[in-house]
Amino acid sequence: MVRYLDFNDGYIGLEPGHPSDNIPACLAVAEAEGRTGRDLVTAVALGYEVQVQLQDAANLYRRGWDHVNYVLVSATLAAGKLTGLDAGQLTQAVNIAMNGHTWAGRSWARTRRSGAPPLARPPSTAFRTQWPACSSTGELTVSSYDPDALADPAVAALMARVEVRGDPVLTAMLPARIPNRVTIRLTSGDELVREVLDAPGGHGTPMTDEQFEEKFTALVAPLTSAERCGRLLDEIWNVDRAPTVTALTGALVVVDDHPTLDGPSRETS
């Protein structure tokens, strides 16, 4: 579910992609294999390194392949490291993961249930991506994905008036920068223009720990209590020192303990 809302990280080389797609497989395998938090962090770092180097090496989408094909390689190698596979076994695991997978939605979901040795145990979950409508408030938050927000007539009317155009000058700045320009034409004929050359978290605009916590809290707070949100943050920041990852995975179990909810707390799987 890491990319259900496309609200996770992004990396742009010759091919764009989302390296944090590697994390769920690593977390599931680390828990199943009884690995330490440091082992988990090492595997995630390996997944990131493999994926971004592949993204830097070759473009896929112009050839009709999706970037998640790179995740098939990186997540399989990362999970294989957690299970202790040797070089020959890792090679065959990648072969199994890559066999016949050429499309975004099916490729990543299939890998998790195709029988590749490192990924045999994680649950089979179909992923879907929901693209949010352009927010009439000018702010994109998790609430922007709510069905009522997406069906808002004001949002639909605004989307109908939006036109997307490529600019060769901005495009030439990729992948070193991620430039965007927004132009608003008023009924008076005047134009309001705003240009941003770097996205938050880019090479020139790295996010601080505080910004990561703010994003995390904004996403998690509607689902649970402030106390549980704080516990999750503590487990995440200290996972590299944990003897196992079970405390972290246990904290990730969804519990209806939000203070605004009525009735007793209950866990859902």
Average the pLDDT over 11-35 and give the result.
94
Q: Residue 255 pairs with which residues in a beta bridge?
A: 267
Taking only the tens place, the pLDDT of each residue in 35-53 is 999 999 999 999 999 999 9
**For the chain, what is the mean pLDDT?**
81
pLDDT at 261 over 50: no
Average the pLDDT over 157-180 and give the result.
88
CA distances to 17, 45, 131 from 201, in Å = 14, 17, 21
* Buried-exposed string 19-36: b where 16+ CB fall within 10 A, e elsewhere: bbbbbbbbbbbbbbbebb
pLDDT at 246 over 90: yes
pTM over 0.95: no
* Number of C-beta neighbours around residue 146 at 10 A: 12
Average the pLDDT over 63-90 and give the result.
94
pLDDT of amino acid 7: 80
Instruction: Please give the structure tokens belonging to residue 198.
Output: 């770097």
**Residue 158 pLDDT level (bands cut at 50, 70, 90):** confident
% of the chain exceeding 70 in pLDDT:
79
pLDDT of amino acid 135: 53
CA distance from start to end of the chain: 13
pLDDT of amino acid 255: 65
Instruction: Please give the structure tokens belonging to residue 23.
Output: 């994390």
Name the nearest CA neighbour of 47 among 25, 31, 32. 25
Q: Residue 181 pairs with which residues in a beta bridge?
A: 195
Q: Which residue has the higher pLDDT, 32 or 120?
A: 32
Cα–Cα distance, 128 to 122 (Å, whole number) = 18
Average the pLDDT over 211-239 and give the result.
91
